[in-house]
Amino acid sequence: MYCTACGQEIPSTARFCAQCGVAVPGAAAAYEGAPKRLFRLKMDAKIAGVCAGLAKYGNVDVTLVRIAAVAATLMTGVAPGTLAYVFAWIIMPVEEWTPKPSIVMPSPESTRA
């Protein structure tokens, strides 16, 4: 592996070039051992974003998580599932809103015409 900035050969386990200090592309893989964090996702929320957060954490479709959550809640007599959701709502931190690249906000000029 070679540094993209200075061309110096660097070990494949390096995160930064020892010669020039530039971060090695793909070095993020070295951080994969870091624990994933469970967040509520306000941007994808129907209620509080608990299901969206669980879906992102488990890398599954949020609709499947919602269907499973609703089914589990109904099958357990509503109260346990509702309590679990409220507890998750209280315990899980909120992930900061990050705009999706596909969302384009209309400018005030285009809506006025």
Q: Which residues bind Zn ion (CB under 5 A)?
A: 3, 5-6, 8, 17, 19-20, 22
Q: Which is nearer to Zn ion, 3 or 88 (CB)?
A: 3
CB of 28 to Zn ion, least distance (A): 17
Residue 22 CB, nearest approach to Zn ion (Å):
5
Minimum distance, C-beta of residue 12 to Zn ion, in the bound complex (Å): 14
Nearer to Zn ion, 18 or 72 (CB): 18
Nearest to 41 by CA among 20, 58, 25: 58
For residues 13-44, b (16+ Cβ closer than 10 Å) or e, as one string? Answer: eeeebeeeeeebeeeeeeeeeeeeebbbbeee
- Nearest CB to Zn ion, comparing residues 8 and 63: 8
